[in-house]
Chains A and B, each alone.
Chain A
């Protein structure tokens, strides 16, 4: 006697085989990009995409109100997936007319012809004074000397946000804007400050950290390499490098300096510390003396201690980056003039700049012009430091492209993997950077 629903070997294998084949084949199918909105209607449509979510709502509404000739479609997309969305929508012919991009994106996408050449628009704009750019757009958001976009914000690298209460308690002066050492304080000064402000319990655990570095903030190692006279590639624009320079002594020394905060001086927060409270949170907790971070003025307003901002320490040159969040007009757009009008309004007109400065930092165009708009002296000092730092970097000839080039994303992944092995004790800095060079060089040239 057999069961109610007997399963023969043949039937079972057939059913299982079909299931298996379906599952395996499904692995090879990729999700498709979403379809675009319907075709144009008067007034002239203008689609703008970015990853800043609701933060840009007011700016978009203000532009639409001041420009009724355009039907503005604000199309924010989440940061997760934004890097994928731009190329897929461009390939599908459904990309927005104006796209917000960061340094990594435009260095990878502009060589592929994604952005419209803005040379004629810039030359034909009577309201623009080319000398007022913090740095030439052809460098900041360009490729081989051609401007393909307009930077929204000043190219400020990360700076050091300081808990002045903890610094004073340790007897360390904070070299803020206006201090004699503002532009001259050096690597040794930073080590001295972090050591002096670190406190431990009897069992060796931290009561207070000298610095939260995010285990080598991406801006920190750039600043340190450049100020130490090092370069990442044989092409300082990072546009067409043929060889990486990760094993140069200046580069190795800069990385070693940063690694030593955790491994030698034992003054930095660990990833496990930051996984719970985050670099910003650890700073707001009042238990970290110095945080190396982007412009976190908005966060700092919540701090219940006296805070300040200082530049990263200098070694040979006062270094800074260029390349930041920028507006790019889609080269395939039928509304390029409208697109330029929007990006020009956002980046260079005071009424547009004021909308965006509320969520970011100093405008890239005529940055000094926004200073009177600061809501406080503290914000004004932050802005002055950012501007002064870039001007000093240009003066010293050490303003460099933030993106590590057309293969920057892949090279950063390689670098981050090796950095993790340094902190894990599996690699020395020299070994790690030699491995980075060995993996990065085949991508170049």
Chain B
């Protein structure tokens, strides 16, 4: 056996655990869910192939499918810009040279590592109409706050507000991006007479657009998969006002045992996310790639 062949075999041997895991735990379930999406399957009886009937039901006969799509889309278009913007602003603040910076960074990042269920329970108390801190603060200025989670007109808005709790995760990525901006660019800007605003506008912002782009994309994908808060706090209610797509999918599969229909929903979700991803990539001309510029200047 030649040395080269031996090395190749060894490489594949070391790769084997990952390859097996990928095939068994990812490709296998994916193929199974694609098959189930074309079947009437309730877990307890063998799946019966029904062609595209699950997809037809979804688009033609299930008003909750469209409702869950609408609710999730609203959440995506409202929460993602908020999270991306606020996360960026907080990162800008934490990128300053101030006393106790490490402590502040830790505090802002801490929510990202706290259990989602524990946080959800906390929100129930924070937004409680009678004893919650939010309405008590509003009462101090003469405003009677709404029933945040139990009023169908407010429940989705409240969940969007609670999503801001997670800005710490994106903030850390922004911070890393900001600290990777070469200092000579700031020096050049200052030499040209640029102040704080110009340093941000012409150096920090363009140099961190790849990070913004990354957080935007991950944020969109995550928002289409939102589940925990809606499941724990409102369970989709009141009156399905917070029936997010994945919660709807979960109900179909695990509560009503319509696993074939749930699988079809999962594949539709995959394509929705794929479309959003393609659109975001296609419109990413605003992202600045430093090495591309360097290549052009050679």
Interface residue? B115 (CB, 8 A): no
Q: Which residue of chain B is the closest to A418 with respect to CB atoms?
A: B239
Q: Which residues of B contact A90 (CB under 8 A)?
A: 43-44
Interface residue? B184 (CB, 8 A): yes
Which chain A residues in 391-415 approach chain B with CB under 8 Å? 407, 409-410, 413
Q: How far is the CB of A67 from chain B (nearest CB, A)?
A: 30
Interface centre among B33, B43, B130 (most CB of A within 10 A): B43
Q: Which residues of A contact B130 (CB under 8 A)?
A: 272-273, 276
Interface residue? B40 (CB, 8 A): no
Contact A8:B254 (CB < 8 A) given known A417-B240, A420-B152, A424-B239: no
Contact A3:B266 (CB < 8 A) given known A410-B256, A417-B239: no
Interface residue? B129 (CB, 8 A): yes
Contact A421:B239 (CB < 8 A) given known A19-B218, A20-B221, A28-B29: yes
Q: How far is the CB of A421 from chain B (nearest CB, A)?
A: 5
* Complex: A83 Cα to B256 Cα, angstroms: 10
Complex contact B128–A12 (CB within 8 A): no
Complex contact B239–A3 (CB within 8 A): no
Complex contact B44–A13 (CB within 8 A): no
Q: Taking chain B's interface residues, is the majority helix, strand, or loop, or is none over half, making it mixed?
A: helix
Q: Which residue of chain B is the closest to A28 with respect to CB atoms?
A: B266
Complex contact B290–A29 (CB within 8 A): no
Contact A23:B44 (CB < 8 A) given known A1-B184, A28-B29, A424-B151: no
Which chain B residues in 246-293 approach chain A with CB under 8 Å? 246, 251, 253-257, 266-267, 269-270, 273-274, 277, 281, 289-292
Q: How far is the CB of A4 from chain B (nearest CB, A)?
A: 8
Interface residue from A8, A276, A416, A421 paired with B152 (Cβ < 8 Å): A421
Interface residue? A263 (CB, 8 A): no
Complex contact B26–A9 (CB within 8 A): no
Interface residue from A2, A30, A271 paired with B290 (Cβ < 8 Å): A2
Q: Which residue of chain B is the closest to A413 with respect to CB atoms?
A: B251
Q: How far is the CB of B286 from chain A (nearest CB, A)?
A: 13
Complex contact A6–B291 (CB within 8 A): yes
Interface residue? A35 (CB, 8 A): no
Q: Which residues of B contact A27 (CB under 8 A)?
A: 225, 246, 266, 269-270, 273
Complex contact A3–B256 (CB within 8 A): no
Interface residue? A165 (CB, 8 A): no
Interface residue? B82 (CB, 8 A): no
Interface residue from B26, B44, B251, B290 paired with A109 (Cβ < 8 Å): B44
Interface residue? B92 (CB, 8 A): no
Complex contact A8–B257 (CB within 8 A): no
* Complex: A3 Cα to B291 Cα, angstroms: 9
Q: Which residues of B contact A420 (CB under 8 A)?
A: 152, 237-239
Q: How far is the CB of B16 from chain A (nearest CB, A)?
A: 20
Interface residue from A7, A30, A91, A273 paired with B253 (Cβ < 8 Å): A30
* Complex: A19 Cα to B277 Cα, angstroms: 11
Question: Once A and B bind, how many residue pairs between them come within 8 Å at the CB atom?
Answer: 136
Q: Which residues of A contact B30 (CB under 8 A)?
A: 25, 28-29
Complex contact B45–A8 (CB within 8 A): no
Q: Which residues of A contact B44 (CB under 8 A)?
A: 87, 90-91, 109, 112-114
Complex contact B290–A276 (CB within 8 A): no
Interface residue from B150, B254, B277 paired with A272 (Cβ < 8 Å): B150
Q: Which residues of B contact A413 (CB under 8 A)?
A: 236, 251, 255
Contact A276:B210 (CB < 8 A) given known A8-B289, A29-B30: no
Interface residue? B197 (CB, 8 A): no
Complex contact B239–A28 (CB within 8 A): no
Q: Which residues of B contact A84 (CB under 8 A)?
A: 254-255
* Complex: A409 Cα to B180 Cα, angstroms: 54
Q: Which residues of B contact A88 (CB under 8 A)?
A: 43
Q: How far is the CB of B36 from chain A (nearest CB, A)?
A: 10
Contact A23:B221 (CB < 8 A) given known A272-B129, A272-B147: yes
Q: How far is the CB of A425 from chain B (nearest CB, A)?
A: 10
Q: Which residues of B contact A418 (CB under 8 A)?
A: 239
**B99-131 contact mask (Cβ, 8 Å, vs A): 1 or 0:** 000000000000000000000000010001111
Q: 28 A-B residue contacts at CB 8 Å?
A: A2-B291, A7-B291, A8-B291, A8-B295, A19-B214, A19-B218, A20-B221, A23-B218, A23-B222, A25-B26, A27-B269, A27-B270, A28-B29, A30-B33, A83-B255, A87-B257, A108-B257, A112-B45, A113-B44, A272-B130, A272-B150, A275-B124, A276-B131, A407-B256, A420-B152, A424-B151, A424-B238, A426-B152
Using a CB–CB distance below 8 Å, which chain A residues touch chain B? 1-9, 12-13, 16, 19-20, 23-30, 83-84, 87-88, 90-91, 108-109, 112-114, 271-273, 275-276, 407, 409-410, 413, 416-418, 420-421, 424, 426, 439, 442
- Nearest 5 interchain pairs by C-beta: A420-B239, A420-B238, A6-B291, A112-B44, A9-B289
Using a CB–CB distance below 8 Å, which chain B residues touch chain A? 25-26, 29-30, 33, 42-45, 61, 63, 124, 128-131, 147, 150-153, 180-182, 184, 210, 213-214, 217-218, 221-222, 225, 236-240, 246, 251, 253-257, 266-267, 269-270, 273-274, 277, 281, 289-292, 294-295
